Structure 1
């Protein structure tokens, strides 16, 4: 890759995820398993690993409780966000090749705006991996409980009160 290519910001195509994206979505999540699994190869993580399989992701994508927004560059999945019930960040992952380019922020802004246009949730919640906490903190989320372990993974529950939410135009 040339220096010019590295400096050129990627152009992303954003769209709702389709069932045909489930394998790529599952693969992207699994790249990060080492960051939130307590012991990725040990017992206890099976239920979680099953919950991020291509089959499970296909079910989530088809379920109206979940809204997925995916970002692609040249037909390659660069990242995605999934909200459950319009208020819980179920997934937010960006491929390592596309990190630190504002993609997570763009995905969050799009998902938040879509959720706020449909309903008025009191808050948004997320069970953040320790690794992702700085990202959610930048989005305005605050820690609401201690580090928790369940199904072989650890996470920190976080919340963003919607009175702290603003859309891109500055309105709540």
Structure 2
């Protein structure tokens, strides 16, 4: 098992991982509009653009030559994606990805303060990292989320 920066060649694996982890068609955080909007954000062109964008840090967790977790942080402050394959949950992969990404962000001048638009399911994960709910449930483009903050 290892953690490394994402490359363009990872885009298909990242897309597959996110779709299996989020399960938008059966996830109560998504209505029909939300499923469409979410899938648009996962077009390969969009994933590749995030990987190449210097404002994003995207790390992959590799297990047995397969991407089983990813984290993306925008401008060292917005945790924009954190997904773990359902078959690899309960192995502390999210925690390891978070620790590695936070360490890189701090080393590159980040201040340790972050925010995230969390899915309902991910709230307990982010709370274990020290994030706290900052607002009531919100809905944008058919996707329910909860803004959470981590202040160092």
- Report the TM-score when normalising by structure 1: 0.81
In structure 1, C-alpha distance between the alignment counterparts of 2:112 and 2:62, rounded to whole Å: 31
Q: Which runs of 4+ in 1 moved over 6 A?
A: none
Does the 8 Å contact 2:79/2:115 carry over to 1? Answer: yes
- Tell me how large the CA RMSD over aligned residues is: 1.4
Unaligned runs of 5+ in 1: 1-11, 163-172
Q: Report the CA distance shift for 1:67/1:135 in structure 2 as closer, same or farther (over 3 A).
A: same
Task: Note the 1:147-158 alignment, pairs <5 A.
Answer: 147-158=137-148
Q: Report the CA distance shift for 1:72/1:161 in structure 2 as closer, same or farther (over 3 A).
A: same
In structure 1, C-alpha distance between the alignment counterparts of 2:38 and 2:30, rounded to whole Å: 11
Does the 8 Å contact 1:26/1:54 carry over to 2? Answer: yes
Unaligned runs of 5+ in 2: none
Does the 8 Å contact 1:13/1:72 carry over to 2? Answer: yes
Task: Note the 1:88-107 alignment, pairs <5 A.
Answer: 88-107=78-97
- The equivalent of 1:115 in structure 2 is 105
- The equivalent of 2:40 in structure 1 is 50
- Report the TM-score when normalising by structure 2: 0.92
Q: Report the CA distance shift for 1:119/1:43 in structure 2 as closer, same or farther (over 3 A).
A: same
In structure 1, C-alpha distance between the alignment counterparts of 2:63 and 2:43, rounded to whole Å: 23
- The equivalent of 2:30 in structure 1 is 38
In structure 1, C-alpha distance between the alignment counterparts of 2:137 and 2:151, rounded to whole Å: 20
| Bigger Cα Rg | 1
Task: Say whether 1:16 aligns with 2:5.
Answer: yes
The aligned length equals 149
Task: Say whether 1:66 aligns with 2:81.
Answer: no
Displacement after TM superposition at 1:130 (Å): 0.4
